[in-house]
Amino acid sequence: MRAGIIGVTGYGGLELFRLLTAHQEINELFLYSSSKQGQLLSDEAPHLFEMNQEKLRSFEQLETDELDVLFCSAPSGVSSELLPPHLEGKMKVIDLAGDFRLKEADVYRKWYGKEPPNATFVDNAVYGLTEWNENKIKEANLIANPGCYPTATLLGILPLVKTNVINPKSLIIDAKSGLSGAGASPNKASHFTKVNDSLSVYKMNKHQHIPEIEQTLKTFAETEVNITFTTHLVPMTRGIMATIYAELTEDIQPHTVSEIFNEFYQSKPFVRVFKEKTDLFTKQVYGSNYCDLTFALDERTNRITVISVIDNLIKGAAGQAVQNMNIMFGLNETEGLQQSPLFP
Amino acid sequence: MRAGIIGVTGYGGLELFRLLTAHQEINELFLYSSSKQGQLLSDEAPHLFEMNQEKLRSFEQLETDELDVLFCSAPSGVSSELLPPHLEGKMKVIDLAGDFRLKEADVYRKWYGKEPPNATFVDNAVYGLTEWNENKIKEANLIANPGCYPTATLLGILPLVKTNVINPKSLIIDAKSGLSGAGASPNKASHFTKVNDSLSVYKMNKHQHIPEIEQTLKTFAETEVNITFTTHLVPMTRGIMATIYAELTEDIQPHTVSEIFNEFYQSKPFVRVFKEKTDLFTKQVYGSNYCDLTFALDERTNRITVISVIDNLIKGAAGQAVQNMNIMFGLNETEGLQQSPLFP
Amino acid sequence: MRAGIIGVTGYGGLELFRLLTAHQEINELFLYSSSKQGQLLSDEAPHLFEMNQEKLRSFEQLETDELDVLFCSAPSGVSSELLPPHLEGKMKVIDLAGDFRLKEADVYRKWYGKEPPNATFVDNAVYGLTEWNENKIKEANLIANPGCYPTATLLGILPLVKTNVINPKSLIIDAKSGLSGAGASPNKASHFTKVNDSLSVYKMNKHQHIPEIEQTLKTFAETEVNITFTTHLVPMTRGIMATIYAELTEDIQPHTVSEIFNEFYQSKPFVRVFKEKTDLFTKQVYGSNYCDLTFALDERTNRITVISVIDNLIKGAAGQAVQNMNIMFGLNETEGLQQSPLFP
Amino acid sequence: MRAGIIGVTGYGGLELFRLLTAHQEINELFLYSSSKQGQLLSDEAPHLFEMNQEKLRSFEQLETDELDVLFCSAPSGVSSELLPPHLEGKMKVIDLAGDFRLKEADVYRKWYGKEPPNATFVDNAVYGLTEWNENKIKEANLIANPGCYPTATLLGILPLVKTNVINPKSLIIDAKSGLSGAGASPNKASHFTKVNDSLSVYKMNKHQHIPEIEQTLKTFAETEVNITFTTHLVPMTRGIMATIYAELTEDIQPHTVSEIFNEFYQSKPFVRVFKEKTDLFTKQVYGSNYCDLTFALDERTNRITVISVIDNLIKGAAGQAVQNMNIMFGLNETEGLQQSPLFP
């Protein structure tokens, strides 16, 4: 298979490069960069020194059907411009940005502050939350790969919403991310001395992943609700933890919650369900495609707390994209994704 | 004034030493340590090299009325044993542990797993949440200094509970702390390689600060509720952020919430109220006695989110203890506590 | 006394603000910023919220003799332009940049790649390495405040060079700094994800502090040598450690080295000499004006290793500047600088 | 092939597990632990949850010739006791501790403070610095796998010593390590609040890796010298940087130094030689078996500075051990070690 990566010098693109070069089914890998064309990838990313010899290409060089699959890891808004000319050929496309995720144009405009891509393409785009949408992903030509926060959040709550164990209107998600989620461009908020030894809150009630979570609850669990969702920056490079709160609709025992999670995920290779009240930590999934889950029931308040951790650049971006590619091409779902978490 | 510190080699004790040596009204400072008596404090704490010359004393050496004020920064359970013989003299006592905070013996037993101190002493102990209990603190002989999480949490929610703006039954607190809150004893959970570049959740629904917050809501806001409270460890040394969620009881505008906070805190030198949706970060209070607050209203969900940040070792421990001492002795509340936050 | 700060929104400027607002002899403090004039300092530096009420001024507003002392903490090259019109009045000036440090114009051109200021001003500028130049500092009108690396390095080696205990030609300095030394401007090298959990080397043999160290060895120890000097970035906010290597000229015992250091520094309040082979760490001086020293003799190789640690923003910048001001105005050397290191 | 790991719950052991489970030629992997036998590895190492199902074994269970290769990653001193009964069979043994590295018993006693193993075994042990000892490694039955600091140091200096470009008597090595090098046992020095945001020096002139480097210089470069070697702890999890200083013996140009390094390493897959004065950083090899090198010539001082970076747990421990296994069994040297560095 021949694959291409747009935006390979960003953090998501670098992870795609790392995963795809180790993928058994990818024979050729073409790298595109708008700003660094003609350079070697390792000029920009010295950890890859001597690991790639071909120069970065201009995206204009892409010929129709030159590739079997194209990954686009450009900033939001860029995919809308670059991809449409290529969306009607045989080449399958996996977009890691937000452009094709939101089905309603007005919602996209409100939260992204931009014009959405052509509605036809948006309609055809399949939401790539692998564990919950495998059948559609198999047939898809264009994948809207989920955001990092929505992946962690939705894997934690969908089983409970689907089984009516919780009241979805009560959902509150307190999300925490490492800095790589904010991208590679330097700015005041990503300066080491601002971030180090400090925890910050940002985009209160304004994060563009809010409508993505709400839309997906509607799609996969027929539930139309508004959620409360807060985002924090943690002084670490990778990792997301979503701490999720909801009211229970019934008297329930821990073993029943475990059974519900296991029913949905026991056949899913990348979701690991830990026993109640396990002290999860983000580094236990560092460098891997896992999503790890635990929960706690509180009979004093009749609430459940769910903890979900992922590596934001892998299960939250490049890893899930490769997982989707595997399914689209009929490969083993875990191909190229079996790396153990790296600890310590 | 002559002051004493029990447990001076712990993190809380070191901060008390730092603050009290710079305090204009303290002429003599006696240091007690159960395990290091006879040593210099700087043998244990090299940053204090050449800054203290007197040897650490055994607590048995303490003579009644030798001191005007005694701070006890020992682990929970130790104060219950050490302090009672000294609680009926003239010496004022400020205890930084949990021993004297919970008024009901059964609640203490349940959450601390220990026997509480003699009920008379517990009854007489005054809860040292300075901004909310100044009148009683003025008259107190024994202060139960608040926990770090309760300080950050209660300063953020008491104005809203008191004014009935929120439904207290809906309170959910997602709390995050740096590692110094876990104490100076090395263990697997505090090993650098376990903590660094990682975020963890711990003590889900089991933290002993839960009943302290609930009791204080009852005392100061006549509100008897159970709260949901989750604690996380952030890879940083100091700092707590409490992200607090509650349902609004009425349609309310941001400026009204600002007015409520300002009404309670405009005369309080150590609580700073920022405008709505400010991106607060813990390091903005690092090394200071400030508690910084902001909030966000969400009309989509009819909820409020409150953010409260403190330095856990200062406003969450030693700083508030000194603030209480100032009030107990009729000094200026800010005496010895006017250090600017240290940034970067 | 009336003091002014140019460049108050940078890291050096913020530390000057912190120290001068707590300084007993400073009654009025004027803040200048080229880029943020008209704003409050706390708009830029939220940790100072409610701590300053006056707006940032344009430097053009400065009237001759309005101030007793002016601190300039602007990037290198800016002082050369801004300061000369003010260098012939009564106002004393302390410049924290490199502009006035190097006496030879060609050396400045070579290492800074810029034109030096007018030679008369450079000639009159007094190098502000307080412990070694107190007599000239007392009489100075313009101080060239030392760089952070030179301060840590020179305090560690001058006693040994002066007493001929080491061969100065053999000097090798391996220097390590936290990120605040690189300034507040965001760039690729200061991005959190680049710095975190990583150690880097930079400017090999090219750092502009090399000629400053060499010139000072010549001035204070009549020794003309070229040194080897390497700089590293450590994933921490503050702190410099200089690890210094030199050949011994004679057979010497540890106690003799200790005596040499003590002879030079026992009357110096901000230099602390630890016993041989102490495991120094940068955080033991965090937030303070101390320089801490230790050393190790190696009879196997006939070399000495000296370790020197400072807080780069305090003893390496703003603290030493205030110390120099104290001496220039006949105040107590420690005035405003007696803060304990902040640990943990 | 059947492989075993002693000490699998330590950091070196966990990396061996990670690498060997992904190794194509290893069919069976037996895990031994003295303290946790009967448990699952993932009970101790939650990142491995659902990744291993067999229980940890007692080492007493090991039957002669049950395994093809045994890795021992126990603390120094333990191998000396455990391994001898198994050193005369067919099973090949790779020891990651220091026990079998030093050929002279008195040197071992002096630096390790323990009795060395039986001299016959020490004599037979082959030093596993792969790039420099491949022929002997091919024939070895017992490998003394190099220490982390010696690996980084020796790969940087051996080409220069062998070609007489530097004066070996002048060698000074300033070494810096992340915390994982200090092992998984919690103690005061590894407590997060002690390490975070701080840099420390330790074991000045006393590190047990000094004689290992000196012995290897003698073995591979017929050079008998004493070196100066200082170790520092950097607030990061993985990574070593060795900054190496030496006098040049001749006038030499950068391209000649590059040629020397390339001559030795161009056929070595895990040593990457960067151009002069590259700003190397430890994270560029994080999670990989690479050793990256650069250098700077200084004509002002006639010295060379060499920079060498490795991941201490991989090229400095488990990775080099697997590389040695590959060579001992005639496999491709890179088998199981081709993971890209993980960045960011």
> What does the pLDDT look like over B93-147, one tens digit per residue?
999 999 999 999 999 999 999 999 999 999 999 999 999 999 999 999 999 999 9
Tell me how far CA of residue C163 lies from CA of B245, C152, C245, C276, C308, in angstroms: 66, 19, 16, 18, 18
Query: Which of A47, A179, A191, A312 would you mutate first to test chain C, the one with the most C CBs within 10 A?
Result: A191
State whether residue A307 sits within 8 Å of chain B by CB: yes
Which residues of chain A have a CB within 8 Å of the CB of B275?
none
DSSP string, B97-141: SSTTT-S-HHHHHHHH-SPPPPHHHHHH-EE--HHHHHHHHHH-S
pLDDT band of residue C35 (cuts 50, 70, 90) is confident
Residue D111, Cβ neighbours under 10 Å: how many? 17
Residues D179-192, mean pLDDT to the nearest whole number: 93
Task: With a threshold of 0.95, tell me whether the complex ipTM lies above it.
Answer: yes
Rounded Cα distance between C274 and B46, Å, is 9
Nearest to D195 among B178, B188, B192 (CB): B192
Nearest to A190 among C178, C186, C197 (CB): C186
> What does the pLDDT look like over B283-293, one tens digit per residue?
999 999 999 99
Closest of D94, D96, D130, D128 to residue D269, by C-alpha:
D130
Give the residue from chain A lying closest to D10, CA to CA: A344
pTM for this entry? 0.98
Give the residue from chain D lying closest to C192, CA to CA: D344
Q: Are B247 and B170 spatial neighbours (Cβ–Cβ below 8 Å)?
A: yes
Does the pLDDT at position D231 exceed 80? Answer: yes
Sheet with D126-127, strands from edge to edge, namely D28-32, D2-6, D69-72, D92-95, D142-144, D126-127
- Asked whether the beta carbons of residue C344 and residue B11 sit closer than 8 angstroms, the reply is yes
Which residues of chain A have a CB within 8 Å of the CB of B174?
174, 230, 243, 245
- Asked whether the beta carbons of residue A226 and residue B280 sit closer than 8 angstroms, the reply is no
Q: Are D234 and D177 spatial neighbours (Cβ–Cβ below 8 Å)?
A: yes
What is the average pLDDT value for chain B, to the nearest integer?
A: 96
The residue with greater pLDDT, A203 or C65, is A203
Torsion angles phi and psi, residue D30, rounded to 5: -105, 135
Beta bridge partners of A29: A3
> What does the pLDDT look like over A310-326, one tens digit per residue?
999 999 999 999 999 99
Q: What is the pLDDT of residue C245?
A: 98
B72 belongs to the catalytic site: no
**Domains in chain A and their CATH numbers?**
2-124 (3.40.50.720), 149-312 (3.30.360.10)
* CA angle, C90 then C94 then C100, to 5°: 105
Which residue stretches of chain B are H helix? 11-21, 41-44, 78-82, 105-112, 119-124, 130-139, 148-162, 192-195, 209-221, 254-265, 319-328
Residues C51-61, mean pLDDT to the nearest whole number: 89
What is the average pLDDT value for chain C, to the nearest integer?
A: 96
The answer for D 247-286 residues in CB contact with C (under 8 A) is: 277, 279-283, 286
- Between the two ends of chain A, the Cα-to-Cα distance in Å is 34
Does the pLDDT at position C54 exceed 90? Answer: no
Q: What is the pLDDT of residue A175?
A: 98
Q: Is the bond into B344 cis (omega within 30 degrees of 0)?
A: yes
Residues of D annotated as catalytic (active site), given as ranges: 148
Q: Are C131 and C270 spatial neighbours (Cβ–Cβ below 8 Å)?
A: yes
Residues 6+ apart with CB under 8 A from A113: none
State whether residue A48 sits within 8 Å of chain D by CB: yes
Q: What is the pLDDT of residue A54?
A: 85
Give the residue from chain B lying closest to A286, CA to CA: B198
- Asked whether the beta carbons of residue C226 and residue D172 sit closer than 8 angstroms, the reply is no
> What does the pLDDT look like over B248-279, one tens digit per residue?
999 999 999 999 999 999 999 999 999 999 99
State whether residue D236 sits within 8 Å of chain B by CB: yes
Tell me how far CA of residue D343 lies from CA of A41, A42, A47, C236, D286, in angstroms: 13, 12, 7, 19, 7
Q: What is the pLDDT of residue C34?
A: 83
State whether residue B182 sits within 8 Å of chain A by CB: no
Nearest to B287 among C184, C280, C287 (CB): C287
Rounded Cα distance between A205 and B247, Å, is 15
Does the pLDDT at position B64 exceed 80? Answer: no
Residues D95-116, mean pLDDT to the nearest whole number: 97
> What does the pLDDT look like over C216-257, one tens digit per residue?
999 999 999 999 999 999 999 999 999 999 999 999 999 999
Active-site residue (options: C148, C285, C291, C310): C148
Rounded Cα distance between C210 and A109, Å, is 55
* CA angle, A150 then A151 then A152, to 5°: 95
- Ranges of residues in chain A with a pLDDT under 50 are none
% of residues, chain B, pLDDT over 70:
100
